[in-house]
Amino acid sequence: AGEPLDPSFPISKADPHSTFDEDNLVQTIFELFLAGTETTTTTMRWAVLNMVAYPDIQGEGRVQKELDTVLGPSRLICYEDRKNLPYTNAVIHEIQRDFPRKVINENCLYLPTSLTARHQTESNFPLQGTIILPNLTSALLDPEQWETPRQFNPNHFLDQDGNFVKKEAFLPFSAGHRVCLGEQLARTELFIFFTNLLRAFTFRLPEGVKEVNTEFVLGGTLQPHPYKICAIPR
């Protein structure tokens, strides 16, 4: 196994043949914060805003009723519980499907990639090195795949009996070699955060506020406008 590396030993001298250097380390840490926390936080901000905008979906008749019936008030929630919470699971998926145009991460919608020699066709067009921008929003909002693609509708992920249904067109984490490396972690975090919040609180607009602003603020990710809500303990 060898001796442990002295933390004070310069990275560049640890292994003269390594391709990992200090610049790589800085970039990796940057990506950890950007891709590992910021995108999940943004999705949760949209999720809470969505529950305020659609109180009938949040309320005692839907998500909260299912959580109370299946989990009770104090049982520890784990990711495996999603199998017994089809409506709640559908709502979480619909939040991700409905807002891809708002939550843009480095793997989801517009990350550039380059074509290689294996993409070459019989034409003389020089494909190798060409930058392409895959737009997966087209799959998430495809009217041939979703009954009401421009509306927030958890029934997109439910069959006639209320069972959860996976959809091939659901690609918020991209697909193939460009798929988000943190997909499973993000799925787990979103489920546990969302279910714990909805079981503990009901989210409502402050008194005197009639509607929420669902427009976005342009940035590295598309954030909701700052908003105030009331988190009422249940």
Q: Which residues are annotated as a binding site?
A: 180
Q: Which amino acid would we find at residue 143?
A: P
Are the beta carbons of 136 and 176 closer than 8 angstroms? Answer: no
CA distance 8 to 14: 10
- CB environment 94-108: b (16+ within 10 A), e (fewer): bbbbbbbebbbbbbb
Q: What is the DSSP string of 76-113?
A: PP-GGGGGG-HHHHHHHHHHHHH-TTT---TTTS---E
Strand partners, 223: 217
- CB environment 123-141: b (16+ within 10 A), e (fewer): eeeeeeeeeeebebbebbb
CA distance 170 to 146: 10
Q: Is 160 left (phi over 0), alpha (psi -120 to 50) or beta?
A: alpha
Feature table: binding site for heme: 180
Beta pairing, strands 230-233 & 201-204: antiparallel
